[in-house]
Amino acid sequence: MRFTENEMTQAMAGAAKSVLATRKDVRKKQLDVDQVWEQMTRYERFQVLDALGDQVLPVLVALPDVEVESGTRPTFTDEQVRETVEATIASDVGRLQRAVLQRTRVALVQAALAAVPPRQDPDALIVPDHL
């Protein structure tokens, strides 16, 4: 699947925020994930995104091509996501580790896809006069 740079960035940020929401300090203090994300330094954000990049990006790129209408998000079935995740897991991984990797990557990819913004029509973009 071909995503724009903005869509990939938003997808990775969405996956990172879903991981950030599982941290103990965020859960116990019931902190807002977006505020915690903004309060993190650029390096801390980079560390989270770098760790997720190996897990999420290969799957996003390997997803099948679908037609995306303007104003909508790309949608994939759970089966398509699961099959793509299975195809990206190395073959030398044990059965139990494979099952754990599959479930976590499917959850991460679904969180990433949920964060993808609606696709904009490039012909309908209006450029402000001050640019």
- Please provide the size of the chain in residues: 131
Give the pTM.
Answer: 0.83
10 Å Cβ neighbour count for 124?
A: 8
In tens digits, the chain (131 residues) has pLDDT values of: 788 899 999 999 999 999 999 999 999 999 999 999 999 999 999 999 999 999 999 999 999 998 888 888 989 999 999 999 999 998 888 999 999 999 999 999 999 999 999 988 766 666 667 76
Per-domain boundaries in the chain = 5-117
What does residue 68 show for φ and ψ, rounded to 5 degrees? -120, 115
Taking alpha carbons only, the member of 5, 33, 29 closest to residue 17 is 33
